[in-house]
């Protein structure tokens, strides 16, 4: 799947953990082609991985389903939209985990939505046209993205 610079990356995948890994690779390639700084790419990938894994494991419960992923980079930021046709579920309604206290007493898991909220600048959910739609935004600017170091010959 190829996408030109500034054209969005659009994927439709079967809801499997193997395909989540493929989406991560596609997001990495797309954002690198668009000149996004690696730490920003990692933030977007982490958020996408958490959201997609939650859909595969908790929404579709490892059953058949399809997920649509759209990633678009522009001068002001990255917009990641993830949609599925499972039962309505707003992941942003999940309470933040208790991070204080003894690690041995904390339940395993439960940090996915917390990490999404921390790594992305905006998160919104809507149930529209029979689909759960999660929209995540990461701001980028010339101040946060290093300039490419291309050698200019005069």
pLDDT in tens, the chain (154 residues): 444 457 999 999 999 999 999 999 999 999 999 999 999 999 999 999 999 999 998 888 878 899 999 999 998 899 999 999 999 999 988 777 666 666 666 555 567 788 999 999 999 999 999 999 999 999 986 545 544 433 333 3
Whether residue 4 lies inside any domain: the answer is no
Residue 151 lies in a domain: no
What's the pLDDT score for residue 95?
72
What per-residue confidence (pLDDT) applies to 49? 96
Question: Does a structural domain hold residue 3?
Answer: no
pLDDT of residue 151: 35
For 13, 82, 137, the CA distances from 77, given in Å and listed in that order, are 24, 16, 7
**Based on the structure, what is the number of domains in the chain?**
1
Is the residue at 149 inside a domain? no
What's the pLDDT at 76?
A: 84
Give the pLDDT score at 131.
97
Instruction: Give the range of the structural domain holding residue 31, as residue numbers without chain letter.
Output: 9-139
What angle separates helix 38-54 from helix 17-33, to the nearest 10 degrees?
Answer: 160
Phi-psi region of 33 (alpha: psi -120 to 50; beta: other; left: phi over 0): alpha
pTM over 0.85: no
CATH number at residue 95: 3.30.565.10
- Report the C-alpha dihedral over residues 27, 11, 8, 118, rounded to 10 degrees: -50
Task: State the CB neighbour count (10 A cutoff) for residue 16.
Answer: 16
Residue 148 lies in a domain: no
Domain assignment present for 65: yes
């Amino acid at each position: 799947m190829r996408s030109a610079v500034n054209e969005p990356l659009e994927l439709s995948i079967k809801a499997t953990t193997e395909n989540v890994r493929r989406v991560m690779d596609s997001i990495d390639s797309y954002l690198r082609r668009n000149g996004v700084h690696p730490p920003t790419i990692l933030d977007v990938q982490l958020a996408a991985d958490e959201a997609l894994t939650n859909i595969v494991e908790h929404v579709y419960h490892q059953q058949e389903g399809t997920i649509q992923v759209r990633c678009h980079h522009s001068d002001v930021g990255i917009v990641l939209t993830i949609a599925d046709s499972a039962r309505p579920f707003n992941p942003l309604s999940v309470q933040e985990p208790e991070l204080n206290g003894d690690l041995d007493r904390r339940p395993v898991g439960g940090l996915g939505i917390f990490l999404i909220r921390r790594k992305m600048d905006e998160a919104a959910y809507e149930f529209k046209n029979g689909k759960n739609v999660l929209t995540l935004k990461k701001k980028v600017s010339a101040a946060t993205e290093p300039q490419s170091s291309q050698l200019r010959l005069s």
